Chain A
Amino acid sequence: MTGTFVGMPAFPKAAHDAVRNKTLRGNLRHATHTIRDKRARAVTELEDWARLREAGKQIKDHTLHHLDRYLVQLEDAVTAAGGTVHWAADADEANRIVTYLVKATGETEVVKVKSMATQEIGLNEALEAEGIHAYETDLAELIVQLGKDRPSHILVPAIHRNRGEIRDIFKREMGEWGRPAPDGLTDTPAELAEAARLHLREKFLRAKVGISGANFMVAETGTLVVVESEGNGRMCLTLPETLISVVGIEKIVPTWRDLEVFLQTLPRSSTAERMNPYTSMWTGTTDEDGPQTFHLVLIDNGRTDTLADEVGRQALRCIRCSACLNVCPVYERAGGHAYGSVYPGPIGAILSPQLRGTESEIDASLPYASSLCGACYEVCPVAIDIPEVLVHLRERVVEGGPVTRQGAKVVLKPAKGHAAERAAMRAARWAFSHPGALRTGQRLASRTRRLHPRSLPGPGQAWSASREMPAVPAEPFRDWWQRTRGGKDAK
C-alpha cells in the first residue's frame, strides 16, 4: 500500500491522541451520526432489504468461488468491446503499467476519479515520481490532496475536517495548484463546493487522460460501473481521450442482472440515498462518444492471498459502501488515520492485515481495534461477518499458522509481544479446567479483598486509569450455594 502509511504506530497508540482531539471527535461524531440515521431511514424504505443483502452476499460468494472463470470471461468481453486488459500482480506492477500508459499518450497530467484501488497502490506518488501530475477531482479527495493530508474515510476521505478547516485549506492551497479560491470565501458547504467547481473545471476541460477505479465489472458484458455524486466521475470518464481504469480483481459480478441488487443496496448503504446522483456504465469504447482508448488494469495486490483464507475471504465481498465505518463506535472515537491504511474502520481492520499481512506493528494491532459489538455486521449490505474475521485474525496474530503470501504458502510464527498474554490465557484455561483450582483462587481473592488496591499497577493500569475496580465479594457464589444448599437454608 502507499508509502504514507509505512511505519504507522499500532492502533492504540494512534488512537490515544485522536481520542483527546476535541475538534476531531466533534467532526466525526457529527458526521457519522448524521449519516447513520439517514442510512437507517433509506434502508427501512425497502421491505426486502434482508433478501437483497442475502442475494448480494450470494452473488459475491459465487463470483469469488469461480473467480478464475469470471476474470477470463471479463477479459474477453472487455477486449471484444474495444478495451485493452492488463494484469498486475502487485502495486509496483500496477503503477508501472499505468505510468507507461500515461507516458505513451505524451501527457504529463491526469485527472482522477476517486478510487480506493489507486490509493491502495499509491498511484499518485508513483506518477509524480515520473513527472506526471495526478489531480484528484472528488471534493473530499481534493481537500485531502490540497491539505497534504491522508484520507480517513472510504466514502468521505476528508470526514475529519469541518467546514472551517476546509475553507482554510482552499484559501491557502488552491492558488498553488491552479485557480485560486474566490475572494471572501465563506465556510458554507455550497460556497466551498462552488470553489471546487471553479478550481477543477479548467483541469477537466483540458484533460487528455482520465484515471478511475470501478465499483463493479460485469463479466458477461464487459461493462464497468462507477457510482458517484458530483459529476467529477462523469468528467473523467467522458471528456479525456484515454481512460485507464484500475480495478481490484474482486470487483466482478457475473451478469448484468446482478447490478439490480447492488444498485439498490450500495447507494442506500453509503450516502443513504435512494440513488446516487450519477452512475456511469461503459462497455469498452463507443465510437465518437467518450474516450477512444480504454485500458483496464486488473490488480491482485494481496487479494488472492486473502482469497486463500477460508474465513477471511468474505472480506472480498466488500463493495466499499462505508456503512460499517459510520456505525462503528471505535471509528467514531479513534478516527480513520489511526487505522494506518486507506481502508479504515471495521472493514479496514480485516482488509489491511489480509492484503498486507500481519507482520507490521499497525497490521498486527488492527484485529484488536474492535469491541466486537457487531454493529458493522448488522449494516453490511453483503453480510460480511466482520467480528468473525477479526477474531480469526487475532488468532493468526497470537497463534501464527499457515497463510498465503504473494501466492506462496508460508507458516507464520506467533507474533511477538503476546507472550505474557499467552501465558495468562494458558493459566486461566488450566484453572478453568480444574474447578478446585478456580475455587481456591476465588476464595483467596475474597479473603484478601480488604487489601486490594483501588487502582492497579502495570498492565492493570489500562483498566484503572479510567475505571474503578469492582469490589470483590465476601464469598463467591459457589460457596454461598454450597453453604446454603442453593438458598434452601438460611441466607
Chain B
Amino acid sequence: MSSRDLILGRVRRALADVPKDDTPPVPERPGRDPQYEQAVDRTYLREHGDRTTEQTVDLLAENLADYRAIVHRTDNGGLPGVIARLLAERGSRTVLVPSGLPPEWLAEAADATRVPDSAASTPHELDEIDSVVTGCAVAIAETGTIVLDGGPDQGRRRITLVPDHHICVVRVPGQVVSSVPQALDRLDPARPLTWISGPSATSDIELDRVEGVHGPRTLEVVLVAGD
C-alpha cells in the first residue's frame, strides 16, 4: 500500500465517530459547499471602523510608518521627482526596473543606471544593485501592508528582496483597501504573492523588535494621489 493510501485510510478510520453528512461535496468549489458555508460563522467584520476614503489612506500611511516604512505622498505629476529625489538621497547608482514599470516614473532619475528585471540575472548580480522601484497590487490600511503579485510593474519576487532599498508606489485611493478580507478578495491565488508590512524585522532577541535583517532594510512607500 502506498503511504498516500495508508494515511488517507488512517484519516478515515480516525474519523469513524464523526457523523457522516449526506450533502454531496462540491469538489471543484468547496467554498460554495453549502455544508461548509454552514460550518463556519462568518459574522466577523469585513473591515474595522467607519472611515472615509481619505481617512483610510491616512490610516495606511500611519500604519506603514508605525512599522518603520518611510511614507511619502505626492500626485502623478510629482511622482517622477519624488522617485528621483529618493534615489539621489540614497546615492543609488543602479536601480532595478520591472518590465512593465511606467517609464515616466523614472523619467527624472537621470543618475541611476536602470537594470531590467531579467530571468538571467544571478542572485549575486542582484546583490550588487542599490535600489528597486515597483508598483503594487493592493495596499491594506488596517495593517499597513502592501501586497505584490508579480504584475508587470512589480516583477519577479526576488527583485524586491535582494536589493537593500525598495521604493514601492501605491496609487491612492484606487489600490487601497481597509482590511485583510478585502485584500484577499482582490488577489489572485494563482499568482505568487508577497505581503510586505514594513522593512524586514526580527523579534528573536529577547522578543524585542529590531528592523532590518535579510530583506530590504529600507522600505519607502510613495502614495500617489489621483488614479
**Direct A–B contact in the complex, CB atoms closer than 8 angstroms:** yes
Do A31 and B197 touch across chains, with their CB atoms under 8 A apart?
A: no
Fill in one digit per residue for B48-71: 1 if any A CB lies within 8 Å of its CB, else 0: 100000000000000100010000
| Least distance between B40 CB and chain A CB atoms (Å) | 5
**In the complex, which of the residues A137, A193, A263, A286 contacts B180, with contact meaning CB atoms closer than 8 Å?**
A263
A491 to B157, CA, bound (A): 82
Q: Are B15 and A67 in contact (CB under 8 A)?
A: yes
Contact A407-B206, Cβ < 8 Å, known A254-B30, A256-B184, A280-B194: no
Asked if A201 and B189 make an inter-chain contact with CB atoms under 8 angstroms apart, the answer reads no
CB distance from B225 to the nearest CB of A (A): 24
| Complex CA–CA separation, A192 to B212 (angstroms) | 11
Known: A230-B200, A274-B197. A205 touches B127 (CB 8 A): yes
User: Given known contacts A235-B214, A254-B31, is B190 in contact with A221 (CB within 8 Å)?
Assistant: yes
Which residues of A388-421 have CB atoms within 8 Å of chain B's CB atoms?
A: 404, 407
A163-B206, A189-B206, A194-B212 known; A278 vs B195 contact (CB < 8 Å): yes
The residues in A between 166 and 210 inclusive whose CB is less than 8 angstroms from any CB of B are 166, 189-190, 192-194, 196-197, 200-201, 204-206
Query: Is residue A101 within 8 Å, beta carbon to beta carbon, of the partner chain?
Result: no
CA distance A201 to B214 in the complex (A): 8
Q: How far is the CB of B207 from chain A (nearest CB, A)?
A: 4
Measured between C-beta atoms, what is the minimum distance from A157 to chain B in Å?
Answer: 8
Stretch at the interface among B4-12, B75-83, B86-94: B4-12
Is B25's beta carbon under 8 Å from chain A?
A: yes
- Interface size class for chain B? 35 or more
B112 part of interface (Cβ distance < 8 Å) = no
Contact of A201 among B4, B8, B127, B143 (CB under 8 A): B127
Question: Which of A215-251 touch B at CB < 8 Å?
Answer: 218-221, 223, 229-232, 234-235, 237-239, 249
Say yes or no: is A283 at the interface (Cβ < 8 Å to chain B).
yes
Instruction: Report the tally of A-B residue pairs with Cβ distances under 8 A.
Output: 276
A230 touches B214 (CB 8 A): yes
User: CB within 8 A of B11: which of A31, A62, A307?
Assistant: A307
A468 at the interface (CB under 8 A from B): no
Contact partner of A48 among B48, B161, B198, B208, CB < 8 A? B48
Residues of chain A within 8 A of B17, CB atoms compared: 310
Most chain A CB within a 10 A radius of its CB, from B27, B41, B124, B189: B189
Asked if B201 and A71 sit within 8 Å, CB to CB, the answer is no
A8 is an interface residue with CB less than 8 A from chain B:
no
Q: Within the assembled complex, what's the spacing in Å between the Cα atoms of A163 and B189?
A: 40
Assembly CA distance A196 to B202 (angstroms): 11
Binary contact track B27-51/A, C-beta < 8 Å → 1, others 0: 1011101001001111111001000
Taking a contact as CB atoms under 8 Å apart, the answer to whether A277 and B196 are in contact is yes
Is A288 an interface residue, CB under 8 A from the partner?
Answer: yes
List residues 76-93 of chain A with CB under 8 A from any CB of chain B.
Answer: 81, 87-89, 93
- Give the Cβ gap from A193 to chain B, nearest Cβ, in Å: 5
Q: Mark B131-157, 1 if CB is under 8 A from A, else 0.
A: 000000000101111000010000011
- CB-based contact A89/B6 at 8 Å: yes
Say whether A59 faces chain B, with CB atoms less than 8 Å apart: yes
Interfacial residues, chain B to chain A (CB-CB below 8 A): 2-4, 6-15, 17-18, 25, 27, 29-31, 33, 36, 39-45, 48, 63, 67, 119, 123-124, 127, 140, 142-145, 150, 156-158, 161-162, 180-181, 184, 189-210, 212-216
Nearest 4 CB-CB pairs, A to B?
A: A231-B215, A231-B214, A308-B14, A304-B10
Q: Which residues of A contact B (CB under 8 A)?
A: 27, 30-32, 34-35, 45-48, 51-52, 54-55, 58-59, 61-62, 65-73, 75, 81, 87-89, 93, 137-140, 143, 155-156, 158-159, 162-163, 166, 189-190, 192-194, 196-197, 200-201, 204-206, 218-221, 223, 229-232, 234-235, 237-239, 249, 254-261, 263-264, 271, 273-283, 286, 288-290, 298, 300, 304-305, 307-308, 310, 313, 404, 407
Known: A87-B4, A194-B212, A281-B192. 6 other contacts (CB 8 A): A34-B207, A139-B205, A221-B189, A223-B189, A298-B7, A310-B17
